[in-house]
Structure 1
Amino acid sequence: MICNNLLKAKSVEELFEQYKTTHDIAVKQEIVLHYSGIVKTIAIQLRGVYISFAEMDDIINEGIITLMQVIDKFDPGKNAKFETYASLRIRGAIIDLARKQDWIPRNVRKLGKSIDQTFSDLYFALGRYPTETEMAEQLGISLSKYHKALSETNLFNILSLDALVDGLQEEGQNEKFLKDQSLDSAPTYTLERKELAQMIKNAIHELKENEQLVVSLYYNKELSMKEIAGVMGISEPRVSQLHASALRKLRLSLGNYYTA
């Protein structure tokens, strides 16, 4: 066992190199301590996903377990940033846990799919993203009821932007890029990933300004819905609506990419 003081003096890169060689549990624990803040940040971000069946402390514990597994799988020799690699898999683990708990009520799931289908139909019919008024009219409900429906189905749309970039599909489908780590170094996979990342970047630029701001604050600045509401001077439910609308548009663009 290595002296903790000596470990604390090392850089993260040195710790990874040492762990790769020695597999010393003390080195691994030091790496976990260094990145434990990522787990808490993600747990706060995704609390809407698990709030109905788990406490935040339980989710943080699950995240730490995932982090430890990720450390064993991570290859420092590849040109990948560990923070991104770990964040993606921790978020994925929380979402998988929520799915196993059947966390979305059947009526909400049905409503979410109905809104998605209507949004997609109008998009192809109009050749552009439909407005909220057009969506409400097509669904046969008032604009206020449509806003309420967006809030109710927001959890249905909570997926990280990292997960979208990495190819997460609708629930129940395989996460094909996460299953085979050997794909990370394949030229065709690298090209496809770059193409997909550029496609989503373009799709984000097509969002409304307030939707772009919500996406930026949620994914880049890692603010909670409540914090975003404070920054933008709007209600938290409205932030949820904008977030759901943005993800619905991005998922539509991503679906077009996979079916093209």
Structure 2
Amino acid sequence: MSAEPMPQAFTAATPAPADMVPQAPLTYSRATRPGGDPEAMIRQYLPLVRRIAWHVHGSMSTIVEVEDLVQIGLVALVEAVGQAAEQGAQFRAYLQTRLRGAMIDELRRQATSTRGAMRRRRQYHAAIATLTAQTGRPPEEAAVARELGVSVEKLRADYVTAEAVRFEAIDDIYSDDLPWFADDTPDAFEQLAESDLRDTLIAAIGALPEREALVVQLFYVEELNLEEIGRVLGVGAARVCQIKAAAHGRLKKALAKKI
């Protein structure tokens, strides 16, 4: 094929109308990608992210905050925008599946209960909502069990206890007034009182007669029984019991004076 112009090919051509001929000089620029501007697409589909996040949060879980689901959806949106050119007209349907899948995967990673437990939990709350709407008051266990078609024992064992474990930051729930954060360590006054009482008990034991002090030593420190102590002292177990009772009486009197 010749590269030379062929003037005869245009001899019969007619000029184009003046209004169709561009007046400005022709310029060329790089073609835009089929997917469009990524930032504009992110702004366009942000409401879709929030709508799906609220739907997943309301229908599947209250363990993860809805704003956390929105953040997960934003990450998935940014990743999906890179696939917009390949998806073409099906991008919105692809994006919906991608967003919902990312949120559900995150819920599964953070799940603290099995799927069966989550299903029973949903059934339990749905039964309570239905009965409450019918009667206008919270239902009793027997009514909920009838609604679910199970016994009260099974309701307590498999449905009421199906609530998932919820983890919260200690800084969000800590309070000095809450009993489960209270310190059970004795305060200074209690420690001082206990120290004085111990000193009194030691002094009272030291003031016991020799045989009574020996019985106390063998019984509470050496952990011998009455018969073994009797063999040490050369007496019967009944006599050892009498000596121990006398020692207890003296110690109680000494402590009573201190208290």
Q: TM-score, normalised by structure 2?
A: 0.32
Q: TM-score, normalised by structure 1?
A: 0.32
The structure carrying a bigger helix percent of its residues is 1
Q: Which has the higher contact order (CA 8 A, sep 6+)?
A: 1
